[in-house]
Structure 1
């Protein structure tokens, strides 16, 4: 599962946070055979050059807690034994005991990486991309600000990387109206077979579309706000990317009741990704409901909830542009209603998903009590996902209930998390 250094850092961060021991400086991991085997296997699985390629793409990443995690830490914790001379050189290079020249001679991936890092002009960068087929991560940061470099990368980088770099390409002038690079990018974004092969999820496409359309981003509050003028042809292509990407998603096969909080507070707050506004909390909740409806192919019923239950406008074929004009019904919030309504209607759902801002105060029972009542009356195995579009520091779901998953915030993994939790 941990295919990249980023995945490995996430795994280590969660492992340390959930199973670590408290120290005077924070939390330290409990290192045993299982952890050493897990971390060591990342460096021992695949050919040495394949591992070197992954190491060159990212030597260091941050854990979910924001701590730096380097592949040198993996060697220090796991102490993996190299199975041949080439892998021994790789381990020595990561640890800093083998020079770049020695590693370059033994490992082609390291040679390509060091060659790419040494370029000093856009022409040289284009040459190494076309001749050595290096990924964009190998290039110096200065080269990634050159439009000529992205003119070439637009046809070579992975599909997910293309989606994530559209704003950058537009900001520096690589994507322009009626430009050749724009045409190549649009062709790739609307290539059904390429999207299926890359397993682009509709959520990835939706996030890319909303971030790009916003024309602004501020990934760090300490950094200056970035702006760009979206290219209409790219926006249209992203809508088609979203439509085509549903072909790569496997439905859970479960019956879902999806409740979108439609109280007044859902129109006030906004959801952001990387400093880019995605829409109001209600708009994003409806978009998530549309996505689940399409993925599950008819096994989803959607309702709106404030202090009563309302019929939702969401259908599997709802166009995302029309959602922007929808307004929540307003009023208070009673988030026990999805469960009491389902009990009253005798709706046998395998999973109940609530999209909300967690600002609930109305009603005669707590949502956790309503969940238990629904299970006693209708389905004792029903799973519940409470997705708070904006993190409020608390949730309506009982954290001690193994059948309840509380989610705070929004990222590309949300539909996959819902699908996996309900399926389990």
Structure 2
């Protein structure tokens, strides 16, 4: 029987927006050169394993990328980098920057120019620019080529000159250095030629310091734009040197200064945190709930707690921030824990904030984009699920419950099974089922031994049509039947190119996925990026 999905799979490699050919793949599950590149660009590895532990990037771990570049296909690689980034398929930014750095070292002038143009288009933060420069430095010796040539100097010039002056002033004061590089290094080595007076002022501030800027512009007539930049930098400097708490609060409120621009000594102040809270992003707000509670900024019954709870539950704000339910779960579990991962920071969790986070989780379910695929989620309960998942420090039972709930509530055709060696029962999730109720179902059955093929066998025996199997487990897996063979047998029976994802939530390494089968994926640990990896994998992006 022919599989129903291969044409779509092959399209991704042969025809998708004119990208790479499949290299003559004999089977719809064959792993191609272009697929290995897309995996690398997505999460930094060419293998069928996503790990929450990020590893250093180098040519030895990007063989498909290096082969394509050495084969004279750098321009195609650059286009693929742009496509993946602009479509939001890269869950980690560094692999794309590494690929652009490799292409920019090419002897082909056209490819080099394409890489530098893409850098300006895709590099949105100074941290990314610094990382790109560092990759260039690391590649310089290995590829036996130069670094600070005309192309790189022009690219760095363009990056600074293409930005709005006030935004650039904010950028250079918020992120000053990373990956061993600073703005001062880049402006000096690129011989920056400022595009206008405001950029020139910022350049002088970075390279010479505020005193020199004050002297140079004290009696100089300033345009409206120049005055805005001057006053903004003046506010940053005042905040750095002021000992007056109220002055710092005023500067934060008037110039919208952020936490990264404020000295550590001022971050001990409740009033400073209250001022920062007004303009804090949703992700930053959830990340600092514990710190603000520990510092008595968020006191029970206070206006600040009421304001925070209102923001956390604001459906429009959650949608605008594209907040995924799993990100809310991580924030909630970290907050309920009452202490930080490191250090001595401790707090008493506020009940109102916990309830607001629970409410936000439910509201964020509508932010999840359905894939339209038929899912079967299998939660292995053969071992205790209370250990913490690697990468997010969330109990693995909460990870499995949350992801089961997300899939069941967003995918019209989905089933959730609770399984062990001795039992396999459905997990009931309706529109009004809470996360606590789902979690309770997952801790009722326990046995020994983990056979990740059981949900596949059950689907086959019960004539269930499944596009994607997802297994959540804490155990090292074994199987009475090889998972690859079980999956291919199911494919042959149903005519569907089914995929298998095995999430080892507490594992540093899995070996379930067949490296030669594009329809299999292992996930080691679990974090918010894993959510996007799964989405990309299901939709054939990787």
Gaps of 5+ in 1: 1-7, 22-26, 62-66
Counterpart for residue 202 of structure 1 = 325
Matches of 1:404 and 1:77, distance apart in 2: 46
Bigger Cα Rg: 2
User: C-alpha offsets along residues 166-186 of structure 1, whole Å, 9 cap, x if unaligned?
Assistant: 000001111111112111111
Matches of 2:184 and 2:120, distance apart in 1: 11
Contact 2:421-2:447 at 8 Å conserved across structures: no
Matches of 1:295 and 1:80, distance apart in 2: 50
Report the TM-score when normalising by structure 2: 0.64
Matches of 1:174 and 1:209, distance apart in 2: 18
Give the Å deviation of 1:290. Answer: 1.0
Contact 2:401-2:439 at 8 Å conserved across structures: no
Cα gap change, 1:36 to 1:231, in 2 (>3 Å): same
Matches of 2:421 and 2:191, distance apart in 1: 58
Cα gap change, 1:350 to 1:413, in 2 (>3 Å): same
Which of 231, 244, 257 is the matching residue for 2:376? 257
Counterpart for residue 127 of structure 1 = 250
Give the match's secondary structure for 1:405: strand
Which of 101, 116, 119 is the matching residue for 1:39? 119
**2:215 pairs with 1:97:** no
Give the match's secondary structure for 2:421: coil
Indicate the larger mover: 182-191 or 318-327: 318-327
Matches of 1:242 and 1:290, distance apart in 2: 11
User: C-alpha offsets along residues 86-137 of structure 1, whole Å, 9 cap, x if unaligned?
Assistant: 44665676xx534345678754554444343333343222111111121222
Give the Å deviation of 1:231. Answer: 0.7
Which of 398, 413, 416 is the matching residue for 2:529? 413
Report the TM-score when normalising by structure 1: 0.80
Give the Å deviation of 1:333. Answer: 0.7
Counterpart for residue 128 of structure 2 = none
Contact 2:177-2:183 at 8 Å conserved across structures: yes
Contact 2:422-2:447 at 8 Å conserved across structures: no
What is the RMSD computed on CA atoms of the aligned residues?
3.5
Give the Å deviation of 1:70. Answer: 5.3
Cα gap change, 1:14 to 1:37, in 2 (>3 Å): farther
Matches of 1:201 and 1:155, distance apart in 2: 22
Number of aligned residue pairs: give it: 394
Matches of 2:341 and 2:417, distance apart in 1: 34
Cα gap change, 1:134 to 1:99, in 2 (>3 Å): same
Cα gap change, 1:345 to 1:112, in 2 (>3 Å): farther
Give the Å deviation of 1:163. Answer: 0.8
Which of 212, 215, 225 is the matching residue for 2:335? 212
Counterpart for residue 340 of structure 1 = 457
Matches of 2:189 and 2:521, distance apart in 1: 32
Counterpart for residue 286 of structure 1 = 401
Give the match's secondary structure for 1:352: strand
Give the match's secondary structure for 1:332: coil
Cα gap change, 1:92 to 1:387, in 2 (>3 Å): farther
Give the Å deviation of 1:148. Answer: 1.6
Counterpart for residue 271 of structure 1 = 389
Contact 1:211-1:273 at 8 Å conserved across structures: no
**2:264 pairs with 1:147:** no
Q: As a proportion of its length, which structure holds more strand?
A: 1
**2:353 pairs with 1:234:** yes
Indicate the larger mover: 372-381 or 351-360: 372-381
Cα gap change, 1:385 to 1:70, in 2 (>3 Å): farther
Give the match's secondary structure for 1:124: helix
